[in-house]
Amino acid sequence: DRGVVLEAVKRHGRALQYAAEPLQRDRGICLAAVSQNGLALRYAPEHIRRDSEIVLKAVAQNNAALQFADRIIAFDVIRRSGAMLRYASDDLRADPEVVMAAIRQSPAALQHASDKLRGCRDFVLRAVRCRGRALACAAEPLRSDEELVLAALAQDMMAMHYVPEDL
């Protein structure tokens, strides 16, 4: 019964996982669920995860809900607030386009990128050319790379704070 499920998710958003499939596909029920607990987005079907109103409501309730969002919506959120990369799915944290968009907003976003990207010299070079302070979050060996350090300093002299003393 729709009314029973609606009342249940209003009290406990994660109750959405126990609803019958037709009710899990109900936009109103999903909106009520994520309003109570953003992480209920995990139990919503794909078409709901592509609904920007529902996703933004979920993320407003709990930033970690971003990991369950559709790629396009999650990318848009990250593009506006680079710090949100920390809540993105592993796939998005490994996507150079998404991570670079996050770095443009916040150089510290590089710390939430995949280890592979943080250790990729070419990617980190692009990152420090965009935002020099991203050097602070590069993989340890790259922080001593002279070309990367010079590129970071050319973009932002404050990157000097992240240059190893032995360089």
Please give the Cα distance from 75 to 91 (Å, whole number). Answer: 11
Please give the Cα distance from 54 to 31 (Å, whole number). Answer: 6
pLDDT tens-digit series, residues 65-122:
999 999 999 999 999 999 999 999 999 999 999 999 999 999 999 999 999 999 999 9
User: Would you say 32 and 10 are in contact if contact means Cβ atoms under 8 Å apart?
Assistant: yes
User: Would you say 15 and 5 are in contact if contact means Cβ atoms under 8 Å apart?
Assistant: yes
| Six-digit token string for 130 | 């965009």
CA atoms in the 13 A half-sphere facing the CB of 146: 2
Residue by residue, DSSP assigns 41-61 as GGGS-HHHHT-HHHHHHHHHH
Structure pTM?
0.89
